[in-house]
Amino acid sequence: MTAASIREARRRLEALQTQVQQQREAALRAAGETGDGSLHDVEWPVAMVPRHRARLRRLAARRKRAFLGRVRALVAAVRRSTADEDERTVDAPAELDETATRVVIATCSACRGSCCGNGGNHAFLRTRTLREFMAAHPALDDNAVVAAYAAWLPENTLQPGCVYQGGQGCTLPRAMRSAICNAYLCGGLRRALLVANHDTRGVFVAHREGERVSGGRLRVLPVLSHG
Ligand code: SF4
Ligand code: SF4
């Protein structure tokens, strides 16, 4: 990339950001939020993220077979290798505080899991994922490990998408997901998290499609249950 093309890309991004800020202010006015505009960045940060355009469909038997075949192969690979042979590209993420968790839920649900759309029939599982699960459940034999992963497959998934991508988000418990699934935050979400703090009330989620923003909405932060 040349310096000129980087400048041009930056200029386009700034133009897009200005457009989104204007949309946020208009949405806040429409919602009767006429408070101090200088606080809007913190109270209603912008998250410019994609939107996963996928439909909920029955998870095909052929996809299940392909996925469970992969899990079985990973289990076999764990049995014949050691942990220091595992790929270690992602470290455990820092814990998100309560506000950050609420921002993530509000934003990712509006996006409908665009990044999970790449999970296909593999769900990003690695030997490391299976090794950790098997170490935590030493009584399970190979078939029982595969059955444990099979048990969390939903009947219907977003397609295109990951085998675990149900209508309400991921159906696989966090402890069984790959490190990348537990760590990944896209750039638009990370920028929103940088400015969010305990005064944050919601997020203005704008959906980016290439060079365009296809619209946005105010999303009030959800209340977390601690039960
Ligand atoms: S991390 Fe970004 S791309 Fe992934 S679901 Fe959340 S908002 Fe969407
Ligand atoms: S396992 Fe869950 S978090 Fe990971 S890609 Fe699939 S749906 Fe997304």
The pTM is what?
0.89
Alpha carbon 191 to chain centroid, angstroms: 14
Q: With 80 as the cut, is the pLDDT of residue 1 above it?
A: no
Q: With 60 as the cut, is the pLDDT of residue 227 above it?
A: no
* 107 within ligand 1 shell (Cβ under 6 A): yes
pLDDT score for 218: 96
Substitution site in 56, 108, 121, 124 for ligand 2 pocket (most atoms within 8 Å of beta carbon) = 124
Beta bridge partners of 206: 48, 216
CA of 62 to the centre of ligand 1 (A): 27
Tell me how far apart the alpha carbons of residues 146 and 116 are, in angstroms, rounded to a whole number: 21
Average pLDDT in the chain: 92
First to last CA, the chain: 51
pLDDT score for 95: 82
Burial class (CB within 10 angstroms; exposed 0-12, middle 13-18, buried 19+) of 210: exposed
CA of 220 to the centre of ligand 1 (A): 17
Substitution site in 112, 156, 181, 184 for ligand 2 pocket (most atoms within 8 Å of beta carbon) = 181
Closest CA relative to residue 44, chosen from 115, 96, 107: 107
pLDDT score for 14: 87
Span 30-85, pLDDT tens digits: 999 877 888 899 999 999 999 999 999 999 999 999 999 999 999 999 999 999 99
Closest CA relative to residue 158, chosen from 47, 69, 63: 63
pLDDT score for 178: 95
Beta bridge partners of 169: 166
User: Helix, strand, coil % (nearest 5) of the chain?
Assistant: 50, 15, 35
Span 139-161, pLDDT tens digits: 999 999 999 999 999 999 999 99
pLDDT score for 212: 83
Strand, coil or helix: 195: helix
Buried b (16+ CB within 10 A) or exposed e, 98-134: eebebbbbbbbebbbbbbbbebbbbbbbbbbbbbbbb
Residue 191 · residue 184 · CB < 8 Å: no
What ligand has the least distance to the C-alpha of 107? 1
* 119 within ligand 2 shell (Cβ under 6 A): yes
